[in-house]
Structure 1
Amino acid sequence: MNAREWFRLPHWIGGLQWFFFIFANIIVIPITIGEAFQLPKEKVASLMQFSFIVTGLACLLQAFYGHKRPIMEGQSGLWWGIFLTLATTVQAQGLSLVELGGSLAIGVMLSGLITIIIGVTGTGPYIAKLFKPGVMSVFVLLLGFTLIQIFLKGMLGIPFGIEADDASIQLPVAALAVAIAIFVIVVSIKSRPEIRSYALLIGIVVGWILHVLLFGVETEQTSTTLSFGLFPLGPLTWNTGVVLTAVLAGLLNLTNTFGALKGSDALFGRATTNREYAKSLTITGFTNIASGMFGLVPYSPYVSAIGFLRQTRIVDRLPFIIGSSLFFSMGLLPPVGMFFTHLPLSIGSAVLFVAYLQLFLSSYDFLKQISLNSSNVYRVAIPTFVGAMIMTFPPHYFASFPIMLQPFLSNGLLVGILLAILLENVIDWEKIKA
């Protein structure tokens, strides 16, 4: 890489665009985790800081040593949904949030180790063959159901956790959140392409300002020093059901790596090599071991980065490296993390509610790759409807199952994906005619 390239203004402008893209995708995640696990502000600030540091570092490692493409490495939507769903269900199964956090840490680190083994041995492309278009369609749609449900609760002012059973919609908060969601949709549809790419960031800024003007700002005094501590969600605790659920989630999370790299092949004019897949998976594995230690949502390449690349046409690596470096540097400033803990959850949820509506289109794109008729529609209908229905069941419905199986069976996202994998790979649906 020519040293003169670092001083070109277009690269720095592109770097700022990457910085804001990474920022908009990461900023809300630590806040929702802190809310779900009932963490104090100081711990949420630490989660925020380490999210900045680990995300920036993960992106740089991928750019220099991994797949070497400008593809964001960020906290996975699949893992995010698993964290928040378990936080709202396991308490009904007799497990405290502290025990859940400790068990998740073990499961996340184990899944990171397994990902490293898959990367080092080069078996990733063979595993990818299990995730056919029918599986991916179900996966993306159920992931959308999971996250949209969470964001909608956040927009309406309904707290996370089992104690939320008696909660009600906070009308003033909900009204502002809905207005911001509509505003972001309008900006995304009506504005010029160069403005459209900042729709999420604009929504966060405008919504935050309006929230402060209408409802005031928290005056809670908190420390501005970075609190370093391992396992902030809870000390290491072994719960077989949670650990197995996390390990399975880690295996399913591999779909993001294959989706992001394979989906970007056309942009770079060549196919991703098996060696690049292996190096990318290895870095993701090490990053996820760090995630387990610091209480972060685990990582994977972002498929949504492909849309950003297409929209901005910034396909050079250098702007991505600049943006990632800026994001990493921000994590070294503790007051920054504390400042962003005050972002209203309802506003962050409203913005991400709009962002993740795009998952419906992604699911539809996968669905178009298979031939459906009245006789083989069961390949996607069964896992989709079963998974969606399980999401609506109260956690105590599963009390009759062995405790080890309850965290998995009560998770509609995981059950639906596993059903889809079995149905797609056991039955040859293409031979079934209407």
Structure 2
Amino acid sequence: MTKNLAGGLQWAIFLIASSIAAPIAIASIFGMDTADTALFLQRTIFVLGIACLIQAFIGHRLPINEGPAGLWWGVFIVYAGLVGVLYSTAEESLQVLQSGLFYSGILFIVFAVTGVVDKLKQFFTPTVTFVYLLLLVLQISESIMKGLFGISSEGDLMDVRVLLAAVAVILITFYFMFHRSAFISRYSVLLSIAFGWLLFWAIGKAPSIPETSGAWMTFPDMLVFGPLVFDGGMLVTTLFLTVLLIANMMASVSVMESLLKNAFSIQSEDRMKQASVASGLNHLLAGLFSSVGPVPISGAAGFVSATRTPGLRPFIVGGVIVTGISLFPQLMAVLASLPAPVAYAVIFAIFSKMIEMAFNELEAEPNRKRAYKVAAFGLMTGVGLMFIPTESMAGLPSAVAAILSNGLISGTIIAIIIEQVMTRVIRIK
């Protein structure tokens, strides 16, 4: 019981630390005040906790935490730019986005029932997974390095003390991860975050815990932005978006299955259809509670590899802890005060494992010549799009802008297309 509780606490801290950036950034884009931002964060964390439990019990049944989908993050940014253009107020735009989550939830379930999900699974070969994992690490590397340098906004100067402290946290994380003691390596993330928090407090770089007002326990409000509405543009956007989210989900599940099989000799059953239905329920939940659409996070494989905790029970305990914490504003305030460089330092160590997994996937590809060509197209396209400012795509349809502004998804799609062309048409040997 103690083992599951400690593992669950570690999962909970990892989930929250890797998820708070998106809702805070979205709230800022839409001009929410401090109180509304705190409530938006609460609703998002609450939904993510429930989403983990839904996937654990009726979905893929793997230790993969749910996080704010990067694709939805991109769509929120696009629709924030439409305020004053297509929508008169930010609330009206958010109401459409809230409704879009419902559209997506229904589409997830329809695609699962009709067999579309099963047909998509064949495209996720070792080569495509390799491209996806590398692009994932490259996409998040900018945020990680800015966090390690203490840069929180454009124009900030690097903070040398923050950088040195962050490097110390990275080193201690690797030390804990590869420690001979099974206890220390299993709880390396928890121990590293505790060490980092104390270190930043000692050097005076830990933010103070904000005061909270009102009830000591609050349940998230529903349909905060108003009743559901029909919007044709959003329906088209969610149609494409849901297909891409399914691809993202499949990649995350595929990576975790590969890790469990190779590193822990654990075989998992094919539950991709159930995972899609669970994702549909999670999106309906996200729309009901006016939050951000969730998606299984590939970084979970790095977390499991680093902590050597492939069991489902600690993951379920973590989901319960996250859900419970979200109901207590003061606890949310404490966790939200975790120094960002500490979170980024630990994530740096975890994502370094993802690169190792990526090359392990490539080694499983029998046709290396074709794999190298596919990877070249996918990586060049994906990385190149990461350098194009999102504002440059403001004139495009929202669905197209959401895809092109996400180098991870675009590069993966290109890799799938090129590999299929080479396999079925060119027949490169």
TM-score scaled by length of structure 1: 0.78
Could you tell me whether the CA contact under 8 Å between 1:224 and 1:335 is conserved in 2? no
The equivalent of 1:126 in structure 2 is 119
- 1:272 matched to 2:269? The reply is yes
Counterpart Cα distance in 2 of 1:400 and 1:295? 26
Post-superposition shift, 1:422?
0.8
* C-alpha contact (below 8 Å) 1:132/1:424 kept by paired residues: no
2:1 is the alignment partner of 1:16: no
- Output the CA distance in 2 between the equivalents of 1:355 and 1:380: 23
The residue aligned with 1:418 is 413
Deviation sequence 1:298-344 (CA, Å, 0-9, x none): 032767359738965664x6555445434433333332112212122
Pairing partner for 1:46 from 39, 42, 45: 39
Q: Deviations over 1:226-248 (max 9, x none)?
A: 37345679998966596566434
Where do 1:178-217 residues align within 5 Å? 178-190=167-179, 192-213=181-202, 214-215=204-205, 217=207
Note if 1:304 corresponds to 2:300: yes
Amino acid at match of 1:150: S
What letter matches 1:411 in structure 2?
Answer: N
Q: Which amino acid aligns with 2:66?
A: Q
- The SS at the match of 1:131 is coil
Amino acid paired to 2:120: I
Q: 2:37, 2:115 → 1: CA distance?
A: 37
Deviates more, 1:141-150 or 1:329-338: 329-338
- Does the C-alpha gap of structure 1 residues 200 and 235 become closer, same or farther in structure 2, counting only changes over 3 Å? farther
CA distance in 2, matches of 1:212, 1:270: 43
Match of 1:138 in 2: 131
- Distance of aligned partners of 1:409 and 1:219 in 2 relative to their CA distance in 1, 3 Å threshold: closer
Describe the shift of the 1:81–1:200 C-alpha distance in structure 2 as closer, same or farther (beyond 3 A): farther
User: Distance in 2 between the 1:375 and 1:62 partners?
Assistant: 35
Q: Structure 1 residues 47 and 154 mapped into 2: Cα distance closer, same or farther (>3 Å)?
A: farther
Distance (whole Å) between structure 2 residues aligned to residue 350 and residue 236 of structure 1: 40
Match of 1:228 among 198, 220, 232: 220
Task: Check the 8 A contact 1:108/1:250 in 2, yes or no.
Answer: no
Question: Which structure 2 segments of 5+ residues have no match?
Answer: none
Structure 1 227/170 Cα, relative in aligned 2: closer, same or farther at 3 Å? farther
- C-alpha separation in 1, matches of 2:293 and 2:127: 26
The answer to whether the Cα contact below 8 Å between 1:106 and 1:243 also exists between their aligned partners in 2 is: no
Distance in 2 separating the partners of 1:407 and 1:175: 36
Output aligned runs, 1:233-244, within 5 Å. Answer: 243=238
Superposed CA RMSD: 3.8
Partner of 1:28: 18
Superposition deviation, residue 387 in structure 1: 0.9
> Amino acid of the residue matched to residue 341 of structure 2?
S
| Distance in 1 separating the partners of 2:45 and 2:77 | 26
- Determine what percentage of the aligned residue pairs are the same residue: 21
Structure 1 residue 195: Cα displacement: 0.8
Cα offsets for 1:4-62 (capped at 9, x unmatched): xxxxxxx4422431332243233331245314542555445435544554344334334
Q: CA separation of 1:382/1:91 partners in 2, compared to 1, >3 Å: closer, same or farther?
A: farther
Q: 1:97 and 1:318 mapped to 2: Cα distance?
A: 41
Report the Cα distance in structure 2 between the residues aligned to 1:403 and 1:57, rounded to whole angstroms. Answer: 29
Q: CA deviation at 1:92?
A: 8.1
Q: CA deviation at 1:133?
A: 1.7
Moved more, 236-245 or 318-327: 236-245
Measure, in 1, the Cα distance between the counterparts of 2:141 and 2:57. Answer: 34
Asked if 2 retains the 8 angstrom alpha-carbon contact of 1:14 and 1:314, the reply is: no
- Closer/same/farther in 2, CA of residues 277 and 247 from structure 1, 3 Å limit: closer
* Structure 1 position 64, deviation (Å): 3.8
Indicate how the Cα distance of structure 1 residues 224 and 209 shifts in structure 2: closer, same or farther if over 3 A, else same: farther
Q: Does 1:361 align with 2:356?
A: yes
Q: Residue 75 of structure 1 corresponds to which residue in structure 2?
A: 66
Among 96, 104, 123, the residue aligned to 1:111: 104
Residue deviations 1:322-376 (CA, integer Å, cap 9, x gap): 4543443333333211221212222222221221222212211221122455676
- Equivalent positions of 1:241-390 (< 5 A) are 243=238, 246-255=241-250, 256-260=252-256, 264=260, 272-273=269-270, 276-292=271-287, 293-300=289-296, 304=300, 308=304, 312=308, 315=311, 320-371=315-366, 377-390=372-385
CA distance in 2, matches of 1:290, 1:216: 34
Q: Cα 1:409–1:377, aligned 2, differ >3 Å: closer, same or farther?
A: same
What SS does structure 2 have at the residue aligned with 1:253? Answer: helix
Deviations 1:162-205 (A, max 9, x none): xx2x3332333333223322322232234523212222222222
**CA pair 118-181 structure 1, distance change in 2 beyond 3 A:** same
| Distance change >3 Å, CA 72–CA 19, structure 1 → 2 | farther
Q: What is the CA distance between 1:130 and its match in structure 2?
A: 1.7
How far off is 1:114 after superposition? 1.7
